Amino acid sequence: MQNYKMCIAYDGRKYKGFNTIKDDTEKSIQGKLEAILLKLYEKEVEVIGAVSTDAGVHATGQIVNFKAVDERLTEKELLDYFEKYLTDDIIVLSIEAVDERFHSRYLSKKVTYEYHLWKKDAPNRPLFERQYVNLMNQLLDVAKIQKAAKDFLGEHDFSAFTTNKKVKNPVKEVFALDVEDTEHEIIITLTASGFLLNMERLMVGTLVQVGLGQLPINAVEQALMAQDTKFVGHKAGADALTLMHVEY
């Protein structure tokens, strides 16, 4: 069997996440991809995603891999086959044959997300962007957000920043956390060795509440040191979050 690595992008608004949901494969990205492979090979083929994005979360560079039953199609023909049957909100960007040991999830080294906050004092309301931003109804103190964001950098136990309290390995390394202040938006970019369930959304939610003055500026430091969720903010909405790329 030939192992294939595929880069895909999708609009996550209509889906309950990347992973297949039992008895509801139409509502997952994985389910859509596996249905096309079943049609092609007449056998079930598992599609493994690098990141299990949440319901409503988008992607511009999700990486998946699958092991084809045979090599009846070339890489280009496989890409064309997917594109023929995929819905308009999922596209295949590239596909390549890789070593059988390649695993999109276990071999990933860095994962980058981007979160968009539309500023209350922006010159205008969002139009084309309105489905992909968190529209703020209060002013944010960007300087506070930038200062608090620095406390996330490095290797930490992120047990307080996940909704999965039974996680086996809560230690992750945050390589970069950039907060960009533009005319219309505040764009938060997070790069880490990996993310626990809802970790990126809780990180953003905490920074937003620091920027609103609802949490102290040292909330991140306190949450990481005490492993206490009382210092952790709300879970930021999914529709403004995008998986940008995965590095190996």
The catalytic site residues sit at 54
Q: Which two tokens stand for residue 166?
A: 């039974």
Q: What values do phi and psi take at 179, rounded to 5?
A: -120, 105
Q: Which two tokens stand for residue 82?
A: 């997917």
Q: Which two tokens stand for residue 85?
A: 């049957």
Q: 163, 199 in Cβ contact below 8 A?
A: no
Q: Which two tokens stand for residue 80?
A: 């064309």
Q: Which two tokens stand for residue 200?
A: 């990126």
Q: Which residue do the tokens 């879970």 mark? A: 235
Sign (positive/negative) of CA torsion 82, 84, 89, 92?
positive
Pairwise CA distance, residues 61 & 121, whole Å:
31
